[in-house]
Amino acid sequence: MMVLRLGRNLVLFVILISITVAQVNDVSAQANQIKFIRTPLSYNPQIGSFTLGEQAYGGDLGNFCLGYDYFTFNATAGQAVSFQVDSPGQIIYYAIINASQFPGFNAAAQNCYLRLNSPIQDFNSKTSLNWTAPGSGQFVLLFYTRTYFTRPLYLTQ
């Protein structure tokens, strides 16, 4: 009878350890996920789809010059973040900039002039975007194209 009770206690002990380990792993996975403060109006978090809803027109004829949209989020210094992005065959540019830079980008975009002091990259199919926060603060994940584009893009963590 003592052996059975010990066996149950041992099994219970093992179950508690595995639950605790699972909870620790879950917390560490959540630590690298970010919560968006601002998303594109068209963003569907269930499937990660969104469209480039912001558009700029310029020049003498007022021609389309830029389609863009963005996500804002907070991150702490050294925090590693990973996204999966996908575009159905169209080259889309992206950059992660400090939120303090965004008003300058937005003003320049409305005048069809674009200059960023951050690395600009592009993708036209499913791609992993890995980034480490250089400091603590609010950041902008910016997507844009210079050609008119209305199909959905996809972003998941």
Residue 137 belongs to domain with CATH number? 2.60.120.680
CA distance 138 to 74: 4
Q: Which residues contact 40 (CB under 8 A, 6 or more apart)?
A: 50, 51, 52, 53, 69, 70, 71
Cβ contact 89:123 at 8 Å: no
Judgement on whether residues 74 and 108 belong to the same structural domain of the protein: yes
pLDDT surpassing 90 at residue 149: no
Instruction: Give 46-59 pLDDT, tens digit per residue.
Output: 999 999 998 888 76
Judgement on whether residues 77 and 22 belong to the same structural domain of the protein: no
Judgement on whether residues 22 and 56 belong to the same structural domain of the protein: no
State the virtual CA torsion across 106, 111, 117, 123 in degrees, nearest 10.
80
Question: What number of other Cβ atoms are within 10 A of residue 70's Cβ?
Answer: 26
> Side chain identity at 148, as an amino acid letter?
Y
Query: Of 139 and 102, which is predicted with more confidence?
Result: 139
Q: Which residues contact 73 (CB under 8 A, 6 or more apart)?
A: 34, 35, 36, 37, 138, 139, 141
Tokens 């980034």, residue?
131
**pLDDT the model gives residue 14:** 33
Work out how many domains the chain is built from and give that number. 2
Q: Is 0.95 topped by the overall pTM?
A: no
Tokens 């969104």, residue?
50
Domain range for 2: 1-31
